[in-house]
């Protein structure tokens, strides 16, 4: 049996088809902004893990960030995180990610494993971890060699930056391989050789070292067999309200390097700003040999500028302030070196 569609219904159906056809043609032209697909967000900076970089005596992970466009000359910064941090957290929270992307810097992130330290601290207080070519220091040296070779980084364009336990390991690297680094930045760290076990490390962090500056200098000279011909520039940062690492450790680190470099404390040039007091020692050409930043009101962590910190509040030990330690390291040592 066949059914006839009434003329009114047929006219209505034809009208609906015509409306759909018209809408299909004009809808892309009139779609309001609030229903248009959102633009894709820029991809988060990705860290790539490198596994085959050497024998890895310290059993650390190696991660790196390589920008699409690299600086000329090519530059490598070794970035060492603190306790209770991961490489990715530090990369995103510290401002190094953006700095590396904008300036074309290759970043190398040694990362601690929980099997080595339950709090993810580098074991700066263990002699076996900080000896030249052994332990964690040996692993990091192998990572640097791998990165330099693969990314064709000149030997005079290698820098190191560290926070807290990462700063202590950075100090050990500067002691063990003074000819490897152009400069190092040590934030809220401890003097090299100030502790030899976990219990001593906790005491040093709380109260400072009980070793004189000449004795601290001797610890460096002992490792270098008296050869002090090579000296990377060193920048020491210490928060004056640090509740985890006693600010006395910043002074001890400063005096250790003053003793090693043969510099007089009173010869430093002092400059006071609204956020810090900075003392600088320079060579005859005006190049910075050593500087010390005593940051007012800063607790334990990395000082970063508010524009960065406002987006990174979820990352541990990233502290908003008027100055960014990574940016200052770049402007004073990496950019002009």
d(CA 198, CA 118): 13
Q: Residue 10: inside a domain, yes or no?
A: no
Q: Which helix (H) or strand (E) holds 21?
A: helix 7-30
pLDDT score at 22? 45
pLDDT score at 29? 39
Domain range for 294 is 57-334
Give yes or no for a contact between 301 and 285, defined as CB atoms under 8 angstroms apart.
no
pLDDT score at 195? 96
Q: Residue 2: inside a domain, yes or no?
A: no
Q: Residue 16: inside a domain, yes or no?
A: no
186 secondary structure, DSSP code = E
Closest CA to 60 of 75, 40, 80, 42: 80
Q: Residue 231: inside a domain, yes or no?
A: yes
Domain count within the chain: 1
In this structure, the chain runs to a length of 337
d(CA 107, CA 1): 79
pLDDT score at 37? 45
- For the stretch 259-293, pLDDT in tens is 999 999 999 999 999 899 999 999 999 999 999 99
CATH number at residue 66: 3.40.50.1820
End-to-end Cα separation, the chain, in angstroms? 93
For the chain (length 337 residues), average pLDDT per consecutive 10? Answer: 54 55 44 41 74 98 95 95 97 95 97 98 96 97 98 97 99 97 98 96 96 96 81 97 98 98 97 95 95 97 74 78 94 86
Other Cβ atoms within 10 Å of 199 Cβ, number: 10
Q: Residue 183: inside a domain, yes or no?
A: yes
Backbone angles phi, psi at 138, to 5 degrees: -65, -40
pLDDT score at 14? 61
pLDDT score at 306? 66
């Amino acid at each position: 049996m066949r059914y006839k569609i009434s003329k009114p219904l047929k006219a209505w159906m034809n009208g609906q088809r015509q409306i759909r056809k018209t809408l299909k043609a004009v809808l892309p032209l009139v779609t309001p902004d609030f229903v248009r697909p959102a633009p894709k967000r820029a991809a988060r900076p990705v860290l790539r893990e490198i596994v085959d970089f050497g024998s890895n005596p310290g059993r650390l992970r190696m991660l790196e960030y390589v920008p699409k466009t690299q600086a000329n000359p090519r530059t490598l910064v070794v970035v060492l995180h603190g306790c209770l941090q991961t490489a990715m957290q530090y990369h995103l929270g510290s401002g190094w990610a953006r700095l590396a992307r904008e300036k074309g810097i290759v970043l190398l992130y040694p990362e601690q494993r929980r099997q080595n330290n339950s709090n993810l601290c580098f074991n700066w207080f263990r002699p076996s971890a900080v000896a030249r070519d052994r332990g964690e220091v040996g692993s990091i040296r192998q990572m640097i060699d791998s990165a330099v070779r693969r990314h064709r980084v000149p030997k005079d364009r290698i820098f190191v930056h560290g926070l807290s336990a990462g700063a202590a390991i950075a100090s050990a690297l500067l002691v063990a391989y003074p000819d490897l680094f152009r400069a190092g930045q040590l934030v809220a760290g401890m003097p090299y050789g100030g502790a030899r076990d976990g219990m001593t490390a906790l005491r040093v962090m709380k109260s400072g070292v009980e070793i004189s500056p000449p004795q601290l200098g001797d610890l460096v000279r002992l490792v270098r067999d008296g050869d002090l011909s090579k000296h990377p520039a060193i920048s020491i940062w210490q928060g004056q309200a640090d509740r985890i690492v006693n600010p006395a450790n910043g002074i001890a680190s400063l005096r250790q390097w003053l003793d090693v470099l043969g510099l007089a404390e009173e010869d430093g040039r002092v400059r006071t700003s609204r956020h810090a007091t900075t003392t600088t020692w320079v060579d005859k050409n005006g190049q910075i040999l050593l500087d010390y930043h005593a940051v007012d009101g800063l607790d334990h962590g990395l000082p970063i500028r508010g524009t960065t910190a406002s987006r990174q509040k979820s990352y541990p030990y990233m502290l908003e302030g008027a100055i960014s330690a990574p940016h200052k390291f770049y402007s004073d040592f990496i950019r002009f070196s």
